[in-house]
Amino acid sequence: MQAEKKLKEMGIELPEAAAPAAMYIPVKQVGNTVYVSGQTPKQGASLITGQVGRDKTVEEGTAAARVCAVNVLAALKSYLGDLDRVKNVVKLVVFVNSDPNFHEQHIVANGASGLMFDVFGEKGRHARSAVGMAQLPLNCTVEVEAIVEV
């Protein structure tokens, strides 16, 4: 339970995994590869919303990406039962709800990437895409999906 011990040391308590809001499943495994559906920055009953560069600062967007990453871990924990089953975080895709003139999606994405490294160490280093979007579901600020090897 090293990953969960690390989370506890960081003061992070994993929430219950979010139930799907539409016609999909939160996690799909094919062989040793686990795909985690996009996770939003939901904390309890509240959802972080707004566009980075208009309604949110880079720092607020980065914090929202970190919340998404916590929710990715919650989905993995719910599916795997133990986060120590993660061999590698292979890739994150970070969608940033961005003002058209905002160009620092890669900085916002560091909120999710940094958490994966903090929790898993070298196993948490990953390939990544950071993509600016004109809009995201429910006007959420960031959405993060993951591909993980188990």
Task: Give the percent of the chain with pLDDT over 90.
Answer: 95
Alpha-carbon distance values, 103 to 51, 64, 91, 133, 137 (Å) = 12, 17, 21, 11, 20
For the segment 9-56, what is each residue's pLDDT rounded down to a tens digit? 999 999 999 888 889 999 999 999 999 999 999 998 899 999 999 999
Which class does domain 26-149 fall in?
Answer: alpha beta
**Where exactly are the structural domains of the chain?**
26-149
Bin 44: left if φ > 0, else alpha if -120 < ψ < 50, else beta: left
Instruction: Report d(CA 110, CA 66) in Å as an integer.
Output: 8
- 0.95 exceeded by the pTM? yes
